[in-house]
A and B are shown apart, each in its own frame.
Chain A
Amino acid sequence: MSDEEKTPEAPLAAEAKTDQVPSSPDSPVIASATTESERESLPDLPATESFSGSEPESEEADGAAILDETMSVRRLPRGLIAQILAPEDETPVWIDPKRLGRQSRRDFLLFGAATAVSAAGVWWLLPDGTKQQWLSPAAASRIDSIEARFGVTGQRRERFLGRVLTFDDDVAEALYSRNRRVRAYRPSDVTPLRNNYNGRTPTGGYLVSWKLTLSGLATGKETTLTAGDLSRFPVRDQVTRLCCVEGWSAVAFWSGIRFAELLRAYPPAPAARWAAIESAVNLDGAGQPDPYYVSIDLDTALHPQTLLATKQDNRPLSLAHGAPLRLVVPMKLGLKNIKAVTSIRYTADEPPDYWNERGYSKYDGL
């Protein structure tokens, strides 16, 4: 004689329980345990969510009050919409207090452990400057050294947050489409565009001898272009928004040549995927040379709204806004719109980027 025949309800009850076990994500131990320990999970049994109704039961869903002797069904109104909108079931459940206590103790222990881990994690992720402002520098370094004992170090934080930036950049790259135009405005929508650069604006001395150097070309040779060479390209007008990483934005009216047309006239080497664009005449706050450089993926460079602008508001670019040639790339953050471009180098690998080296992201797609 088998157990099943001795106790007729047993198979039914066991069936109900095995149905419930897979949907108990926070009790993996229970899921792999025997029937006896499955009973342990009873207090946590959210029967509504765990009962995976099979065909015969679902047919009776809007009627039957009794499914079988071990279960009672709550009456639901007729009609799918009415059933979906029905109030939440608050049917009381009978539970062995010992099991309830065990289950609750486990939940509280988990809760306490998770609280401690979250607090430690939040502290780990905070910038050093913030920690010292919120507590004292001494207290901050004391907590840091405790965390470092568990391998939770500032170096790891930097690596981890760097990966977060890369992930967000990958999302931006996935969203990008060369066929999607950014919003174009009318010239009357133009708003004041501030010169947000902290460094000194160079005097116009460099303009006399200004040349654009192209390298990494298919020809294998370096090419220099003068303003006269660039004036052979058709000029496009474009009114687009420039969005700064700081949060402000401005609508500006640009005129210039399409980067795509420069790429067609002077094709890059076949392996090239990136453009390293540099302004050698950039100055820092003290007026010392501080070359500025950005990385632009060629897919973005080929976008029809990516311009090498020579004019703003129908006038030649001012020194403050990047005379004689600046990049206008409205599908990237403002900091990629490099002023006073002096060289473009096409590369296969991603070139360095000025602000990326200072903790900002690299792709900066809007």
Chain B
Amino acid sequence: MLHPSLMSVTPVDTSLSDRTVVTIVRKHHRLVRLAHWLNLPILFMLVVSGLGIYWASPVFLHPADRVTASRDYLADAGAAVARHLPSDVPRDQLRFWFYRHFSVGVYALAPALRLHWLFAYLFMGCGLLYLAGLVNGGGYRSLIPRRSDPREALAMMRYYFGLVPMRLVGRPWLHPRVHGKYNALQRGAYLSMPLFGLLAMASGWAMHKPAQLGWLERLFGSYDGARIVHFIAMWVFIAFLVPHIVLVIGDGWDTMRSMIVGWSKRIGEPHE
């Protein structure tokens, strides 16, 4: 027997007359929507607690600075910002500035670890919800790479680069034809998120249980290899957020609303 998601059946309520109906298209399965929004507080807490853990033993180090004795790039970046702020941070605490504002803080390893474990388990649960929603609602179909993707991705990039200049000179600038829910760039970005989630989870377990899950640690080369992959995954999540928010705002209310209510009124139109 076929999986229900493979059967596409659209019921048409015969009790509705033409005048009382509105035409919509289903967008995101309710579990996908739930997981999407749950990710927001979960990833926030994972990042702030994760940076608190990172502070205890940074991976990316340079030779100790002669003046501050700091070896940590993140601490240096924070100190550089704090020096130009009007606030009165004591000189010996300048290097804490980044961690105090973007993490749970310095010398807070124990609370940071507790929070990180809690939200790591929640993150994995959220990932399961997302997968269940993708499979159940058939949303995974829009994430599978297509042969036309490279060409379409170039067309989309050309479109985005030309968008503002063409608007300025007042020339029409057409959105490339997109078949389906996502264009090629979106497909790549939205597929990369669960994959990086998986990578963050695997590297997290590799350093959490390197003895019992030694095979996982070896998959990342070494213990520190897993730490670096985990750190990069965090930056990917953060880097995804900026264009994601900009494009959703640019695309309009329908797109934003569809992630809350699960339907869209834009039928057969390209959307971000």
Contact = CB atoms under 8 A, between A and B. Distances in A.
Given A47-B10, A71-B10, A93 B25 contact: yes
B149 interface: no
B6 A361 contact: no
Interface string B6-45: 1111111110100011111110011100100110110011
A79 to B, nearest CB: 11
A107 B20 contact: no
Interface string B190-228: 000000000000000001111111100110000110010
Contacts of A358: 110
Contact of A94 (B12, B136, B223): B12
Contacts of B105: 127, 129-130, 133
A320 B260 CA distance: 59
B141 A108 contact: no
Given A83-B6, A94-B21, A366-B210, A129 B108 contact: yes
B220 to A, nearest CB: 13
A359 B111 contact: yes
Nearest to A128: B111
B270 interface: no
Interface string B136-150: 111101101000000
B214 A52 contact: no
Nearest to A169: B117
Contacts of A103: 261
Contact of B25 (A92, A161, A248, A359): A92
B110 A52 contact: no
A207 interface: no
Interface in A143-182: 161-162, 164-165, 167-168, 172, 175-177, 180, 182
A247 B56 contact: yes
B68 interface: no
A247 B53 contact: yes
Contacts of B45: 122, 125
Contacts of A71: 9-12
Contacts of B121: 164, 167-168
B22 A366 contact: no
Contacts of A104: 257, 261
B263 interface: yes
A285 interface: no
Contacts of A49: 4-5, 29, 136-138
A241 B113 contact: no
A39 B209 CA distance: 51
Given A359-B110, A360-B110, A97 B101 contact: no
A247 B57 contact: yes
Interface stretch (A55-63, A227-235, A262-270): A55-63
Interface residues of A, number: 94
B111 A91 contact: no
B223 A243 contact: yes
B209 to A, nearest CB: 6
B54 interface: yes
A172 B121 CA distance: 13
Nearest to A53: B7
Nearest to B181: A88
B179 A100 contact: no
Contacts of A172: 209, 212
Contacts of B104: 126-127, 129-130
A183 interface: yes
A57 B180 CA distance: 26
B141 A53 contact: no
B118 interface: yes
Given A53-B1, A165-B117, A175-B212, A85 B8 contact: no
A96 B16 contact: yes
B155 to A, nearest CB: 18
Given A71-B9, A175-B213, A244-B57, A97 B261 contact: no
A189 to B, nearest CB: 10
Contacts of B163: none
Contacts of B207: 247
A4 interface: no
B20 A96 contact: yes
Contact of B114 (A52, A115, A164): A164
A122 B113 contact: no
B153 interface: no
A345 interface: no
B251 to A, nearest CB: 17
B48 to A, nearest CB: 8
Contacts of A85: 141, 144
A83 B2 contact: yes
B100 interface: yes
Contact of B37 (A114, A121, A134): A114
Contact of B209 (A50, A67, A89, A365): A365
7 tightest CB-CB pairs across the interface, nearest first? Answer: A359-B110, A74-B8, A247-B57, A246-B56, A88-B141, A366-B211, A127-B111
Interface of B: 1-2, 4-14, 16, 20-26, 29-31, 34, 37-38, 40-41, 44-45, 48, 53-54, 56-57, 59, 100-101, 104-105, 108-115, 117-118, 121, 136-139, 141-142, 144, 179-181, 207-214, 217-218, 223-224, 227, 257, 260-263, 267-268
Interface of A: 9, 13, 16, 23, 25-26, 39, 42-53, 55, 57-58, 61, 67, 69-74, 76, 83-97, 100, 103-104, 107-108, 111, 114-115, 118-119, 121-122, 125-127, 129-130, 133-134, 161-162, 164-165, 167-168, 172, 175-177, 180, 182-183, 241, 243-249, 330-331, 358-361, 365-366
6 contacts: A43-B24, A71-B11, A89-B141, A91-B10, A167-B121, A358-B110
